[in-house]
Structure 1
Amino acid sequence: MIHPLEASRGVPAEVRAYLAELVRRTAAVCGPRLVSVLAVGSLALGDYRHGRSDIDVTVVVDPALPEPALGELASALAHPCLPCPAAGLELVVYAADFVAGPADGAGYLLDLNTGVLLPGKACFDATGSPSFWYVIDRSVAHQCGLRLYGRPAREAIAAPRPPDLLTAIRASLREHSDGEGHLADNRVLNGCRSVVFCRTGSWAAKRRAAREIAADAEEFRPLLEAAVRSFEGPRASALPLPAPAVRAFLAWAAERVEEAARAAGV
């Protein structure tokens, strides 16, 4: 049975029909092997920006799902076969036994990126994939994933171990410090979200995290306010934030994460 988008609780009207069709197609391909379909990322955190944000979806399947079904699913959900109304779709499929425990590593069965503003990708082998994105996404899913179909997020996906999560956050900050392939505003806001998580143990929406950091890190307030203004517009009009200020903020954020890791004995 398709859930009435646990959705109406927080999924914007612009993407509800798309998600309902995504669930229908996923259920048609996976049949009784489908365990859960969860909206994660900005949708789950209540910070989706139409025209800027991706749609992030986690699918959990029975490990007995026939392997050819993964290719069929990738084809069924690919844009423009299923036109994505957002900047793009980032969908990850996991086996239920892998995510039932606090797994480390990428571990996916399918990693699909598709949409107008996303380079297309359909990967079926997680070997060699950087694990940190997937560990963080599973943490967000466990905390607040929105159930679109099947078992609730907390029943389907275990929280990662704190040391594994801190390692993933460190790696994420290194990636954003390098900057390649990331908008400057997103690099800054991800840094804010990482620091707030280390302080509170909970994932926050990017703009809320920026407001929290700006309240007690005066020296970075102009940069954080500019990053939020930029994030509130479409990707094509993202502001060119000053590179030295971005680097300085991300170095500061990395220090805060290291402090949290030392305090946790990681």
Structure 2
Amino acid sequence: MIHTLGEPRAVPAEVRGYLEELVRRTSAVCGPRLVSVVGVGSLALGDYRHGRSDLDITVVVDPALPRPALHDLAETLAHPRLPCPAAGLELVVYAADAAARPSGAAGYLLDLNTGALLPDRAAFDTTGSPSFWYVIDRSVAHQCGIPLFGRPAREAIAAPPPAELLTAIRASLREHSDGEGHLADNRVLNGCRSVVFCRTGRWSAKRAAAHEIAAAEADFRPLVEAAVRSFERPRASAEPLPGAAVRAFLGWARERVDGTARAAGN
């Protein structure tokens, strides 16, 4: 049976019908092998921005799911066959035994990106895939994933080991420092979120983390406030930010993460 999508306030109205259909199609393909469907990313952190945010979804399946079913799932969920109302869908499928094991590996069975503002991608092999985004997403899922179907996220998805999570956060900041393929405002806000996580041990919504950093770090306040203003606009209207200032901020953020790792003996 398809479960209801949690509390009404937890799932934005603009995407509620889409997620119900996504769960229905996923259940139809996976049948009794479907364990959980979990909302992560901005959905889970309460900062989904329609027209700007992607929908990040984690699916957990029984390891006995036939591999051809993964191809069927990618096909039935692909935009525009299932039109995605958000900027895009980023959906990752894990075997239940892998999801339940604390790990710093990518570990997925399927990594699907699709949508009007995302390049289409369906990967069934982790070879060559950087692991850090998957590790961070599983950490968010374990902390506050929204149950859309099946077992609760904390039961189905293990928290990554702390040392490997910090390694993943460092890697994400290195990628954002390079800047390729990422909007400048998102690079800055991810840096804010990474630093706040290291200070608190909890994942925060990007804008909440940005407000915390802006209040505490006067030198970076103008840049962070500009990043928030830009983030509140559609992707096509994102404002440019000074590249040198963005790189300096992300360098500072990496130093904060490195300090957390050293204090933890990692």
TM range (shorter): over 0.9
TM-score (norm 2): 0.99
Q: Which residue of 1 aligns with 2:77?
A: 77
Counterparts of 2:222 and 2:232, CA distance in 1: 16
1:223 matched to 2:223? The reply is yes
- In structure 2, how many angstroms separate the alpha carbons of the residues matched to 1:2 and 1:146? 15
Say which SS state the counterpart of residue 6 (structure 2) adopts: helix
| Residue aligning to 2:42 | 42
Alignment of 1:28-177 (within 5 A): 28-177=28-177
Alignment of structure 1 residues 239-250 onto 2, 5 Å: 239-250=239-250
- Cα distance in 2, alignment partners of residues 242 and 81 from structure 1: 39
What is the deviation of 1:3?
2.2
| Cα distance change of structure 1 residues 41 and 7 upon mapping to structure 2, 3 Å threshold | farther
Determine the C-alpha separation between the residues in 2 that align with 1:172 and 1:85: 27
Q: Where do 5+ consecutive residues of structure 1 fail to align?
A: none
Query: Is contact 1:38-1:149 (8 Å) kept?
Result: yes
Secondary structure (helix, strand or coil) at the match of 2:10 reads coil
Number of equivalenced pairs: 266
Matched residues in 1 for 2:170 and 2:149: separation? 32
2 CA distance for matches of 1:247 and 1:59?
34
Q: Distance in 2 between matches of 1:37 and 1:62?
A: 12
> Are 2:186 and 1:189 aligned?
no
Q: Distance in 1 between matches of 2:185 and 2:250?
A: 12
Counterpart code for 1:256? R
CA deviations on 1:29-55 (whole Å, 9 max, x unpaired) are: 000000000010000000000000000
2: CA distance, partners of 1:100 / 1:264: 24
TM-score by length of 1: 0.99
CA distance in 2: counterparts of 1:230 and 1:145, whole angstroms: 26
Which 4+ residue blocks in structure 1 deviate beyond 4 angstroms? Answer: none
> What is the Cα deviation at residue 7 of structure 1?
4.5
Tell me the distance in 1 between the aligned counterparts of 2:129 and 2:13: 34
Identity percentage of aligned residues: 80
